[in-house]
Chain A
Amino acid sequence: MRGSGDTLVALGLVFVPLSLLSFGGGNAVIADIAQQAINVHGWTSEREFADLFALSRAAPGPGSMLAALIGLKAAGIAGAVVATLAFYVPSAALVLAVSRLWGRWRGSPWHTAVERGMAPVAAGLFLSSGIAVLRASPGGPAVWIAAIVTTVALLRWPKMHPVPLLLGAAVLFGILRAF
Chain B
Amino acid sequence: MTALSSSQRTPSMARPGLVAIFVAFLRLGCTSFGGGTAGWLHRDIVLRRRWIDDSAFLQMLTVGQALPGSNGIKLTVLIGQHLHGTAGATVALFALLVGPFAIVLAVAGIYAGLAGNRTVHDMLDGVAAAVVGLTFATGLRSIAQGAPGLLGPAIAAATVLCVGIFSWPLIPVVLCLGPLSIGLAWLQARRR
- The 8 Å CB contact of B174, one of A23, A57, A150, is A23
Using A17-B171, A60-B34 as known contacts, list a sample of 20 further A-B pairs with CB atoms less than 8 Å apart, ordered by residue number in A: A35-B167, A54-B131, A61-B30, A62-B71, A92-B73, A117-B186, A119-B142, A123-B159, A126-B139, A129-B164, A137-B125, A146-B130, A149-B133, A151-B140, A158-B137, A170-B123, A171-B123, A173-B122, A174-B119, A174-B126
List, in ascending order, chain B residues with CB within 8 A of A158's CB.
137, 141
Any chain B CB within 8 A of the CB of A9? no
Instruction: Evaluate whether A25 and B71 lie within 8 angstroms (CB atoms) in the complex, with A99-B78, A121-B178, A123-B156 already known.
Output: yes
Contacting pair A27 B135 (CB below 8 A)? yes
Contacting pair A55 B124 (CB below 8 A)? yes
A20–B100 CA distance with the chains assembled, in angstroms? 21
- The 8 Å CB contact of A54, one of B124, B160, B167, is B124
- The 8 Å CB contact of A130, one of B66, B121, B132, is B132
- The 8 Å CB contact of B186, one of A61, A110, A153, is A110
Contacting pair B125 A142 (CB below 8 A)? yes
Within 8 A of A (CB), among B38-83: 60, 63-74, 76-78, 81
CB B146 to nearest CB in A, in angstroms, measures 5
A98–B69 CA distance with the chains assembled, in angstroms? 13
The interface size of chain A toward B, counting residues with CB under 8 Å, comes to 104
List, in ascending order, chain B residues with CB within 8 A of A56's CB.
104
Within 8 A of B (CB), among A18-34: 18-27, 29, 31-32
List residues of B whose CB falls within 8 A of some A CB.
Answer: 29-35, 37, 60, 63-74, 76-78, 81, 86, 89, 93, 96-97, 99-101, 103-105, 107-108, 111, 115, 118-119, 121-143, 146-147, 151-160, 163-165, 167, 169-171, 174, 177-179, 181-186, 188-190
A17, A22, A113, most chain B CB atoms within 10 A: A113
Contacting pair A117 B178 (CB below 8 A)? yes
Contacting pair A58 B29 (CB below 8 A)? no
Within 8 A of B (CB), among A53-87: 53-63, 65, 68-69, 72, 77, 80, 84
Instruction: Evaluate whether A125 and B105 lie within 8 angstroms (CB atoms) in the complex, with A31-B164, A169-B126, A170-B126 already known.
Output: no
